[in-house]
Amino acid sequence: SAIEGADIVKDGFGIIAMVALTPVIALQVLGLLFQAKSKKGGIETDAS
């Protein structure tokens, strides 16, 4: 084994979880950017 104490199953599940959460995190970041830009008046929203 290249790394002492490394467990391939635990590391594999961690990487799978990280890849699965990437789209969710990206949407949250885009939402924050949209909210910040709309507060500055750069984007008109249809919310009444």
Q: What is the pLDDT of residues 1-48, one digit of tens each?
A: 577 888 888 888 989 999 999 999 999 999 999 998 888 876 666 765
pLDDT score, position 37? 87
pTM over 0.75? The answer is no
Domain boundaries along the sequence of the chain: 1-39
pLDDT score, position 41? 75
Apex CA 16: angle with CA 14 and CA 18, to 5°? 70
pLDDT score, position 7? 85
Q: How is the chain split among helix, strand and coil, in percent rounded to 5?
A: 65, 0, 35
